[in-house]
Amino acid sequence: AERSLLVLFGSQTGTAQDTAERIGREAKRRHWRCRVEALDSCDVANLIHEPLVVFVCATTGQGDPPDNMKVFWRFLFRKSLPAGSLCQLDFAVLGLGDSSYPKFNFIAKKLHKRLLQLGGNPLLPVALGDDQHDLGPDAVVDPWLVALWDKILALYPLPPGLEIISPDVRLPPKYTLHYLPEDSPPPDSDLLQPTAPRAAPCELHPFSARVVSNQRVTAQSHFQDVRLIEFDIAGSGITFSAGDVVMIQPQNCPEDVQQFCQLLRLEPHRRFVLEPTEPGTPLPPLLPQPCTIQYLVTHYLDISCVPRRSFFELLASFSTSELEREKLQEFSSAQGQEELFSYCNRPRRTTLEALWDFPHTTCAIPADYLLDLIPRIRPRAFSIASSMLAHPERMQILVAVVQYKTRLSKPRQGLCSTWLASLNPEQGDVRVPLWVKKGGMKFPADPATPVIMIGPGTGVAPFRAAIQERVAQGCRGNCLFFGCRYKSKDFYCQAEWEELVTKGLLTLFTAFSRDQEEKVYVQHRIRENGRLVWELLSTGNAHVYLAG
């Protein structure tokens, strides 16, 4: 039989995807035809024809499946699926979780159990990778993969005359990058413009929203820069209600892009087309064809993320310097993980900074391997801080600009918040790619049900949307506990709250932790007003919401 293996992942932050791609590489070294796909990208009904599947899935939140496996999850738990429908399937499940959460690796455990119910044959017990382990999930993943390949090669031996490809041999890249001649005519500018929305915008078809305003809502003297940013979403087809989340696709800053191109000796304005090495591999979404190096590095490659072990493994294979190669090999070995953690994860060193440290290797990176080496920029989620009933065709978010110190001399900066804060709508037409996701918070349908909202800091964002919505719908019984450091410096939306209090539409309790000798937080205000809170809960049947 043709030796084909399918690796399916459910990944929220990219770790499960990284691990799935690692399994894909190990499969290729053992001469398997291997596809690596997100669970929601594959046709679940075809599972019955697959002989061998490895599932790699993370658990998010309170035991929830990642976004890119939600559709698969609903299908798999249909009551109507017959008990023996997967009896042809050999499978293995690798879970990635965090044991400091009560529902540790809940999704992997539940998936394993469900595949058994449907008649699948497990090759191994479910693996439960743990972020809390000193060596991270690899402490479980490394030995489990050794056992997995032993098991698979016992069932499906290597064809005669073939050896496992040695780790010293570099695998071909996923895509090859074909430069277009310098003088070829530029593409129609329409290619880069998103077409008119077919349906509501989504990750593959974001809406390019114009920034209307970008206002700092903390005092200049305050250490934290927080912005209230407003977007124009007219004509987008976007609708949302209180508690929903907006996903924003950020981009790298021009200085980083320029540095990256200099380090790798890339010409920013060169145009190229991508060609998959293996027929049938889809092209990366959201990259125009043809594309410039500048566009690829600005909008696609996550050069500011903390690099993973797999980055150093591939980087080592390009190295022309023995000294650099030894260090890179150490970082990609099982024994070198503690060393890697203190080099990368603890100080939050970025991919770009790591490349600086290995100059001989970096200038030898072939452009073809850029998309194998560096993951794509992931979208960021923000609570929507306004209601369409109060601000039609507009959407607002409250963004704390992320900046902090580690032992590295340069302060760490959040990619998305720093980029958003830098946008100045007074300098012309500034746009941000975005789409909306249903949030986890649902507010009561009955207008008589009171709502207690506890939202310190920027956690108040979804409650601003809820209060605007409820006031517009004529709901009373809005009670907000808000906390921050100083009344004069970071009391977001103060005038708006005070006006609603005056009109009798909001009950507001504030805790300004640093305005007096002893620190006062929202929990102190809840305790002081315990009688009211209990009355709302016991007789009013109030709903309580908390956002941080």
Q: Provide the terminal-to-terminal Cα distance of the chain, rounded to the nearest Å.
A: 54
| 113 and 13 inside one domain | yes
> Does 511 reside within a domain?
yes
CATH number of the domain bearing residue 225: 2.40.30.10
pLDDT at 192: 45
Most confidently modeled range among 133-137, 166-170, 519-523: 519-523
**CA 378 – CA 296 distance, rounded (Å):** 14
| Cβ-contact 376, 249 below 8 angstroms | no
Q: Is residue 44 helix, strand or coil? A: helix
Q: Is residue 221 helix, strand or coil? A: coil
**CA 156 – CA 159 distance, rounded (Å):** 9
**CA 423 – CA 529 distance, rounded (Å):** 42
**CA 180 – CA 292 distance, rounded (Å):** 10
Residue 182's pLDDT band (cuts 50, 70, 90): confident
pLDDT at 280: 81
375 pLDDT above the threshold of 50: yes
> Does 524 reside within a domain?
yes
> Does 201 reside within a domain?
no
Rg of the chain over CA atoms, in angstroms? 26
| 407 and 482 inside one domain | no
Domain end (from 373, 405, 427): 373
pLDDT at 401: 97
pLDDT at 186: 67
The reported pTM is: 0.91
DSSP conformation class of 92: E
* H or E stretch at 54: strand 52-58
**CA 300 – CA 287 distance, rounded (Å):** 8
**CA 342 – CA 357 distance, rounded (Å):** 15
**CA 350 – CA 306 distance, rounded (Å):** 5
Domain end (from 353, 373, 393): 373
* Residues 6 or more apart in contact with residue 203 via CB below 8 angstroms: 247, 285, 379, 435
pLDDT at 283: 92
**Could you report the per-residue pLDDT of 297-321, keeping only the tens digit for each?**
999 999 999 999 999 999 999 999 9
254 pLDDT above the threshold of 70: yes
> Does 171 reside within a domain?
no
373 pLDDT above the threshold of 70: yes
Residue 134's pLDDT band (cuts 50, 70, 90): confident
> Does 172 reside within a domain?
no
Ramachandran class of 70: left when φ > 0, alpha when ψ lies in -120 to 50, beta otherwise = alpha
| 129 and 9 inside one domain | yes
| Helix axis angle, 15-29 to 138-155, nearest 10° | 30
Q: Is the dihedral of CA 387, 390, 393, 397 positive or negative?
A: negative
Which of 311, 207, 302, 256 is closest to 13 using CA atoms? 302
Ramachandran class of 252: left when φ > 0, alpha when ψ lies in -120 to 50, beta otherwise = beta
**Could you report the per-residue pLDDT of 414-445, keeping only the tens digit for each?**
999 999 999 999 999 999 999 999 988 999 99
**Could you report the per-residue pLDDT of 192-216, keeping only the tens digit for each?**
444 454 678 999 899 999 999 999 9
Residue 432 φ then ψ, to 5°: -130, 125
190 pLDDT above the threshold of 50: no
| Cβ-contact 288, 186 below 8 angstroms | no
Note if the bond before 375 is cis, omega within 30 degrees. Answer: no
The dihedral over CA atoms of 366, 369, 374, 380, expressed in degrees to the nearest 10, equals 120
Query: What is the maximum alpha-carbon separation in the chain?
Result: 84
Total domains in the chain come to 4
One-letter amino acid of 457: G
Q: Is residue 226 helix, strand or coil? A: strand
| 124 and 246 inside one domain | no
Residue 282's pLDDT band (cuts 50, 70, 90): confident
> Does 184 reside within a domain?
no
- Mean pLDDT lowest among 42-46, 84-88, 373-377, 408-412: 42-46
| 105 and 9 inside one domain | yes
Query: Which residue range is the domain that position 388 belongs to?
Result: 207-250+379-437
pLDDT at 348: 97
Instruction: Round the average pLDDT of the chain to a whole number and report it.
Output: 94
pLDDT at 188: 56
CATH number of the domain bearing residue 118: 3.40.50.360
| 334 and 428 inside one domain | no
Give whole-number Cα distances, 122 to 26, 119, 151, 155, in Å.
20, 9, 11, 13
Residue 187's pLDDT band (cuts 50, 70, 90): low
For the residues 175-179, what does the mean pLDDT come to? Answer: 96
| 141 and 9 inside one domain | yes
| 24 and 128 inside one domain | yes
> Does 163 reside within a domain?
no
CATH number of the domain bearing residue 503: 3.40.50.80
| 17 and 92 inside one domain | yes
| 93 and 54 inside one domain | yes
Encoding tokens for residue 57? 């899935």
Domain end (from 317, 351, 373): 373
1 pLDDT above the threshold of 80: no
pLDDT at 197: 47
> Does 91 reside within a domain?
yes
**CA 277 – CA 172 distance, rounded (Å):** 8
Residue 493 φ then ψ, to 5°: 60, 30
**CA 123 – CA 119 distance, rounded (Å):** 13
| 102 and 63 inside one domain | yes
**Could you report the per-residue pLDDT of 109-118, keeping only the tens digit for each?**
999 999 999 9
Residue 69 φ then ψ, to 5°: -135, 15
Provide, rounded to the nearest whole percent, the portion of the chain with pLDDT above 90: 86
CATH number of the domain bearing residue 326: 1.20.990.10
pLDDT at 437: 93
| 385 and 472 inside one domain | no
**CA 339 – CA 224 distance, rounded (Å):** 33
